[in-house]
Amino acid sequence: MQIDWANLTILESTMGGVLIGLAAVLLMAYNGRVMGISGIVGAAITASDGRAWRIAFLIGVMLGPIGYLTAFGNIEMTMVASTPMLALAGLVVGIGTALGSGCTSGHGICGISRLSLRSIGATICFVVTGMITVFVIGL
Cα separation, 114 vs 128, in Å, equals 21
pLDDT (tens digit per residue) in 8-25: 788 888 988 898 889 889
Given this model, what pLDDT does residue 1 score?
57
Given this model, what pLDDT does residue 18 score?
92
Write a three-state SS string for 42-86: HHHHHCCCCHHHHHHHHHHHHHHHHHHHHHHCCCCCCCCCCHHHH
To the nearest 10°, report the CA torsion of 71, 74, 78, 84: 90
pLDDT of the chain, 139 residues: tens digit per residue: 566 777 778 888 898 889 888 988 999 898 888 888 888 888 898 888 888 999 999 999 899 888 888 988 887 778 878 899 889 988 888 888 888 788 877 888 888 888 989 999 988 988 898 899 888 877 6
Task: Tally the domains of the chain.
Answer: 1
Query: Interhelix angle for 37-46 vs 83-99, to 10°?
Result: 90
Range of the domain at 123: 5-137
Residues in the chain: 139
Does residue 119 contact residue 107 with C-beta atoms inside 8 Å?
yes
